[in-house]
Structure 1
Amino acid sequence: MTMIKAACVRAGVAVAALLVAGCGTEHVAAGGVGPGTPSRSVTVAPTPSGPLDFPCPGESPTAAPTRSASGTDPAPVDKYAENNGFKMPIPLHGQPRCDGLEAAKRVEGALEALRKKGNYQAESAKSALAALGYAPEKVQVFQNPTGVNFLIDASRMCLEGSMDKASTKADAFGGYPDHSGCDVPRGGH
């Protein structure tokens, strides 16, 4: 009886050893170091799954917004935000963010010249934006009581903003989820 017990214990230990060992699998550390290769110290930096922002030219190092390590933006906290998420512009990150900041500065500069002259007309704003190289059919300018609002489909990004007696503002973004244009989508789910 003790011989059968000892055989069962040995068999159990052997099965446990095989399970722990991985049944013939070869474990290789990061950098390809494994059995039969000379050992070396390899440090592998974790890579985030989303793009990280960096300071753009003319920006201070602390001015660049950062993304979470997971590369995702925080989830909406309420049903209204969740149901209207399709209307939220997609932010630009990395080099496209820098390109967007540069384009917004050029647009602001062109419209600021009109603002200083007191010219708040939609046609003048559209001409100034077209002079920057934007196709006239891709530029929408809307007259409002105090100035103009504009929206530009610049193919790689969208630019929107306003010009009035107080200021000239322009922002760049990457479009909208589930929508191919730069205008705010209508409808939803």
Structure 2
Amino acid sequence: MKKITVTVLALMLTLVTSTSVFAATPGDGSKLDKRILKLEEKQQKIEEIKARNLEKQSKLATKKEGFEGFKLDLAEHRQEVLENRENNLGVVELNNQLRLTLVQKLEALKDSGSVVPEETATQLKAYKAQIAELANSLKDTKGQIKDIREEYKGLIKEEDYAAMDTTFAEITSIQTNRLDILNQINSILQEMNNLL
């Protein structure tokens, strides 16, 4: 009988304490409500922090994508400058070949004792004057790219990417101008060779 009494008392005690915990209603100032409120506030703060972090990450990713895009643009500009340089060297090589051919033709005429007709000599002198004028135009641009490259080195240190882009555009413009002048000289040299 003692066992039954102890069991009944333990059961009653458990029921009394559990009903007091569950009997608390929201808003009556119980400790449980305060804890729940604090936990909800913390959860809200955590959600806000997560949202700010996601926003920062997306801004950083956008900035990084923009920077990566800009780096790709710079690489393309560098490649374009190198291709222009290669084109200019090819045109200069052709220029030298045309000059060599012209000199060889003139030497062959001189060795054979032939005289260049007056009209042809006049045209050759006019072409020579045009080439001299174009050569002066080339001399005006000589060294400009070197100066710009020195400026570019400073921009790299400053990480001024927009100015770097402008610098490449300037170099490309100068190279294009020089290429046009070299092509004009080559066409005149070709005409001179055709005259002989």
Taking structure 2 as the reference length, the TM-score comes to 0.29
Radius of gyration: which is bigger?
Answer: 2
Choose between structure 1 and 2: higher helix proportion.
Answer: 2
Choose between structure 1 and 2: higher strand proportion.
Answer: 1
Tell which has more relative contact order, 1 or 2 (C-alpha 8 A, sep 6+). Answer: 2
